[in-house]
Amino acid sequence: MAEFRMPSLGADMEAGTLVQWLVKPGDRVKHGDIIAVVETQKGAIEIESFQTGQIEKFLVDVGTKVPVGTPLAEIRAESEAKPAAAAAVPPPPKAPAEKPAPAAPPPVQAPVRPPSPPPVAPPTPVAAGARTSPAARRLAEERGIDLSTITGSGPQGAITYADVERRLGAPAAVPEKKRAPAAAPEKKRAPALNLYAMRTAIAAAMARSKREIPHYYLEHQVDVTPCEQWLAQKNATLPPDARLLIGVLALKAVALAARRFPAFNGFYRDNKFEPSEAVHVGVAIAIRGGGLTAPALHDVDRLTLDELMARMRDLIQRTRAGRIRSSEIADPTITVSSLGERGVEALYGIIYPPQVAIVGFGKVVVRPWVIDGAIGPRSVVTMTLAADHRVSDGHAGALFLAEIGRLLQEPDKL
Amino acid sequence: MQQQIARSGTLEMTYREAVKQAIRDAIKRDERVFLMGEDVGRYGGCYAVSKGLLDEFGPERIRDTPLSESGFTGAGIGAAMAGLRPIVEVMTVNFSLLALDQIVNTAATVRHMSGNQFGVPVVIRMATGAGKQLAAQHSHSLEGWYAHIPGIKVLAPATLEDARGMLWTALQDPDPVLIFENVMLYNMSGKLAADAGPVDIDKAAVRRPGRDISLITYGGSLWKTLEAATTLAGEGIEAEVIDLRSLRPLDDATIMASVGKTRRAVVIDEGWRSGSLAAEVGMRIVEQAFWSLDGPLGRVCSEEVPIPYPAHLENAAIPQADKIVAAAKAALSKA
C-alpha cells in the first residue's frame, strides 16, 4: 500500500490545504494523473499521483491544512490483494512509503503538528456537491468541524448554520476553544490565487536567495536578426494561434546550452550541487494584480519549437487562472525571465533557490551594429546571467551565455 | 415663536401634508427655490400636495406649466444650471417617460459633458406605484429604471419624516435628485415631530430590528412589509425590515450588516421582477455577503403583466403582505 502525501511544492512550503479531490475511493489512477487540488501560498495547485493503482481511502478531509509529508490517501498497487482476501496471508510488509515527490526533502518541520483529528464517523467524505449553506460552510471551517459528520436539516438534507451550531453544542455567541491547531481559522479563503500569500512567498524565497547565494552577474548582447527573419518566414505559414514568439527560441536556446553546461542546471542543496539530467525551465510569469511565479516547462531541450510554444501558452494561461500542477511548481532546474516589450533592455535576476542560475532577456531593440566591417541596423537583445558562485565561476558563465548567443544565430537548428 | 411651541410636541398629519410642508419650508428658506409642474398652481396639484401654495407664494414661485413634460423638465434643468433651485413636479412616473430624454440625456450627463463646468441642482418629484385602479398606463413603478442611471440620485421617502425631510437635503445636492412618492402613501396619516426638519438621503434605515431574516424594501412596500413582519412575529419569526430610502446610491453597508446578522434575505420591490432593483440588491448580497448566507435569497416583485384595472387583479399583481410572509417562510425553509 502506498501513501499519497502532501507534496512539497518548493523549499519554502511547510503546509498546504487540501481543497478538492478529483477522484474518489475505488478509482484507478496512474502515474501522472491529477487527483487533488491543494492550496498553497502559490495558489491552487493540481497535484499529480506518483503511483499507479487504486485509491483505497482518503486520510484527510477537504479543507484541512496539513504539513508537507502528511499522508492524504492510500493507493493500492495493482498487484496488491484486497485486505479481506488476504486475511490468512501475512500482512503486506510495511514498505516504507515511497516519497511522493522528487521534490525537496521534507522541510524542517519545527514542532510536528498533528494532522487534523481523526474523523469521528467512518470516513464517508462529503460527496462533491453535498448541499451546505455558505454560512454553515464557513462556520464549520472556522471551528474545524467535519461537515461529513453533520446531518443536514435543510431542504433535501442541506446543512444549515443551525446544524453546525448544534454540532458545536453551543450557540455561536459563546466562543469555543479552538480545536486542533490544524483547524485554526485561516484567513478568509481566497479563490485560486491569494496575492498576499504569494507576495509573502516571494519575499521569503528572494530574501533567502540573497542571504545564501553568492550571485555573480554577466551580460551579453546578441544579434537576434536571424531569429526575427526566420520567425517571419515560419509564421507566415502558420495560423495565428500557432505562431511562434521569439521567447520560445530563447527558452530552447537556454535549455540546449544548459545541457552542455550542467553547472547552471540543477539544485544546490545540503552544501553540494546536484546537477540535473533533465532540463526543466522555470518561466517567470507575472500575475495580474501584482504577483510572480515561475512554474516549469518540462524537458525543454527535447521539445520541438511548436510543442514548446503550445506548452508555454497553456502554462501561462493556467498560471494566470491559478491552476498550476505540482510538478511544474516543484522542479524547475533553471529559470528564464523576460520583461518582454515592457521597456527595459536588461534585467538582473535573483536566483530562485535551490536553483543555481537565472537567465534574463531584455527587449529587442534595433541598434547600429558592425557586420563584416560595415555598420548596419540589427535587432539586438541583452542577455544576462545571474549564477551561484558556489557552483560556477564567471569563466563558465561567460561560455554559457556565449553558447546561448551562438545557438540563437541558427534558429532553424533549435 | 411657532417653532418653539412646536419643539415640545408632535403633530398629526398626512404624508401629503408633510410633502407640502417640505416645499413651503424650502421656498421660505431659499429665494432660489420654486415649484413648477402641471396643475401645481391653480388646481393645487394632482394629488393636492401644493394646494394653497399659489395663494401663499404667488405665481413666480408656484408655476403652472403646459402639458409638456419634456419641455418643462428641460426648463427646470436649464434654470438649475443657471443658478436657481427648481422643484419640478412631474405628475406621475408614467408621464416622466416623456421627459426621459431630459432626465437621462441631459440632467444626468451635463456635469460630465461640460467637463465639470455645469451642474444640474434640480429636484424632480413624481408620484409612483399602483393600487388606485388607474389601469396599466397610470400604475407604473419605474423608479428602479432611474436607479440604473449614473449621474442622478433616486430617493423613495416612505415615512412622514422622510417626506418632510428629504426635499431640503436634495435641494442642497449639486446634482439632480429624483424623489418618488408612492401614490398609496399620500393619505397615510401619522405623527410627525413638530420640529421635523431635513434628514440624510444616503443611508438605509432599519425600520424594525430582527434576527431571523432581512426583509429589504422601500417606498409603498415598506408598510406591507412591516405588516408581514408583524404576522411573522406571531409565528416566532423575527424579521428585520430595512427601508432603502435611497435607491441610488444604495447603502450597501446597512444591507450587508443586516444580512450578516440574519443570514437570510427577501427583497420586496413593486417593480417588475426581471431586471428589477430587487435583482440588483440580491446580486450585491451575493457579491458581498455570500459567506454569511444560510439559505436562498427571495424576492417579492410585481407580476410581469401590465397592471390590471380590476381591484382584485391589481392587488394580486403587486406585492402584498401575505406574499411577503410566504416568501420569508420559503427563505427560512418553513413554507
Write the DSSP string, B144-205.
HHHTT-TT-EEE---SHHHHHHHHHHHHHSSS-EEEEEEGGGTT-EEEEETT-----SS--E
Q: What is the pLDDT of residue A82?
A: 52
Selected residue with higher pLDDT from B63 and A38: B63
Q: Prior bond to B249 cis, omega within 30? A: yes
- Digit-coded pLDDT (tens) for B195-241: 999 999 999 999 999 999 999 999 999 999 999 999 999 999 999 99
For Cα atoms A12, A17, A19, give the angle at the middle one, nearest 5 degrees.
Answer: 135
Give the class (CATH, top level) of A196-413. Answer: alpha beta
Residue of A nearest to B261 (CA): A135
Say yes or no for a CB contact (<8 Å) between A135 and B292: yes
Give the model's confidence band at A90: pLDDT under 50 very low, under 70 low, under 90 confident, else very high: very low
* Cα A329 from Cα B182, distance rounded (Å): 61
The 10s digit of each residue's pLDDT in B179-195 is: 999 999 999 999 999 99
d(CA B185, CA B183): 5
For A258-283, what is each residue's pLDDT tens digit? 999 999 999 999 899 999 999 999 99
**C-alpha–C-alpha distance, residues B319 and B182, integer Å:** 14
DSSP summary character for residue B101: I
pLDDT of residue A359 exceeding 60 = yes
User: What confidence tier does A80 reach under pLDDT thresholds 50, 70, 90?
Assistant: low
Close Cβ partners of B230 (under 8 Å, ≥ 6 residues apart): none
Minimum mean pLDDT range among A120-129, A251-260, B64-73, B206-215 = A120-129
- Predicted pLDDT at A117: 43
Judged against a pLDDT cut of 50, whether residue A127 lies above it is answered with: no
Interface contact A133-B292, CB threshold 8 A: no
Cell numbers representing residue B334 in the block: 418553513
Mean pLDDT estimate for chain A: 79
The Cα–Cα gap between A108 and A100 comes to 17
Least confident of A171-185, A381-395, B308-322: A171-185
Q: Look at A376-380, B5-9, B238-242 and tell me which has the smallest mean pLDDT.
A: B5-9
Taking only the tens place, the pLDDT of each residue in A135-150 is 999 888 888 888 888 8
Query: Looking at CA atoms only, how far is residue B333 from chain A in angstroms?
Result: 7
B305, B314 contact by CB (below 8 A): no
A155 in reach of chain B (CB within 8 A): yes
Count of positions (residues) in chain A: 414
User: Beta strand pairing status for B177-182 and B153-155?
Assistant: parallel
User: B200 vs chain A: nearest CA distance in angstroms?
Assistant: 33
Q: For residue B310, what is the DSSP state?
A: S
pLDDT digits (tens, 9 = 90+) for B133-146: 999 999 999 999 99
3-state secondary structure of A18: strand
DSSP secondary structure, A69-117, as one string: T-EEEEEE-TTSPPTTTTSSSPPPP-PPPPPS-SSSPPP--SSPPP-SP
Q: Which residues of B touch A138 (CB under 8 A)?
A: 291-292
Q: How big is the A-B interface in CB pairs under 8 Å? A: 28
Asked whether B110 and B80 are in contact (CB, 8 A), the reply is: no
Would you please indicate which residues of B are annotated as catalytic (active-site) residues?
69, 138
Q: Which of B291, B292, B333, B334 to mutate to test the interface with A (most CBs of A within 10 A)?
A: B291
Residue B39: per-residue pLDDT: 96
Q: What part of A 107-146 touches B (C-beta under 8 Å)?
A: 133-138
Q: Quote the Cα angle for B5-B10-B11, to 5°.
A: 100
Q: How close does chain A come to B334, measured CA to CA in Å?
A: 10
A153/A364 Cα distance (integer angstroms) = 64
What is residue A23's predicted lDDT score, i.e. its pLDDT? 86
**Minimum distance, in Å, between the CA of residue B321 and any CA atom of chain A:** 24
**What pLDDT is stored for residue A31 in this prediction?**
80
Q: What is the pLDDT of residue B4?
A: 43
Q: Among A280, A353, A296, A291, which Cα is nearest to A322's?
A: A291
Residues of B with CB under 8 A from a CB of A: 263, 290-295, 333
The Cβ-side half-sphere exposure at B225, using a 13 Å CA radius, reads 31
Is A188 near chain B, with CB under 8 Å?
yes
CB distance A43 to A320 below 8 Å? no
Residues of A in contact with B294 (CB under 8 A): 133-136, 160-162
Residue A104, pLDDT > 90, answer: no
CB atoms within 10 A of CB A394: 13
Task: Point out the least confidently predicted range of A267-271, A323-327, B250-254.
Answer: A323-327
**CA dist., res. A357 & res. B136, Å (int):** 76
Question: How confident is residue A317, by pLDDT bands cut at 50, 70 and 90?
Answer: confident
pLDDT (mean) for A71-81: 76
Provide the shortest C-alpha distance from residue B326 to chain A (in Å): 16
Helices (H) and strands (E) in chain B, counts: 14, 14
**Mean pLDDT throughout B139-155?**
97
Interface test mutation site (partner B, options A139, A160, A189, max chain B beta carbons within 10 A): A160
Best of A132, A133, A159 to disrupt the B interface (most B CBs within 10 Å) is A133
A356 HSE (CA, 13 A, CB side): 25
Query: Would you say residue A181 has pLDDT above 70?
Result: no
| pLDDT for B120 beyond 80 | yes
Asked if B291's CB is within 8 angstroms of A134's CB, the reply is yes
Tell whether the model's pLDDT for residue B50 goes beyond 90.
yes
Average pLDDT over residues A281-298: 84
Please tell me the predicted confidence (pLDDT) of residue A12: 67
> What value does the CA radius of gyration of chain A take, rounded to a whole number of Å?
25
pLDDT(B1) > 60 = no
> Closest partner residue to B290 among A134, A136, A162, by Cβ?
A134
In this model, does residue A327 exceed pLDDT 80? Answer: no
Task: Check CB contact of A187 with chain B, cutoff 8 Å.
Answer: no
CA distance to B6, B8, B50, B195, per residue, from B2 (Å): 6, 11, 22, 10
CA distance B291 to A38: 21
Which whole number is the average pLDDT over B17-33?
97
Instruction: Inspect the interface and report whether the beta carbons of A137 and B333 lie closer than 8 Å.
Output: no
**Contact state of B293 with A134 under an 8 Å Cβ cutoff:** yes
Pairing state between β A65-67 and A215-223:
unpaired
Nearest Cα to A370, choosing from A360, A378, A358?
A: A378
Cα-based angle A68, A70, A72 (whole degrees, multiple of 5): 115
The partner residue sitting opposite A138, judged by closest CB among B291, B295, B333, is: B291
pLDDT (mean) for B259-284: 97
A7-64: per-residue pLDDT in tens?
877 766 778 888 888 888 888 888 878 888 887 776 778 888 878 888 888 888 888 8
Q: Who has greater pLDDT, B276 or A94?
A: B276
**8 Å CB contact of A134 and B294:** yes
H or E segment at A183?
A: none
SS3 B36: strand
Q: What is the mean pLDDT of residues B76-100?
A: 97
Closest CA to B222 of B167, B163, B153, B310: B163
Q: Cell digits for B114?
A: 461640460
Does residue A339 register a pLDDT over 60? yes
The residue ranking higher by pLDDT, A186 or B250, is B250
Shortest Cα distance from A46 to chain B (angstroms)? 25
pLDDT of residue A115: 45
Mean pLDDT for the stretch of residues A230-236:
91
Spell out the domains of chain B, with CATH numbers in brackets. Answer: 2-193 (3.40.50.970), 205-331 (3.40.50.920)
Point out the least confidently predicted range of A41-45, A378-382, B166-170, B292-296. A41-45
Interface ipTM: 0.73
CB spacing of A135 vs B291 below 8 angstroms:
yes
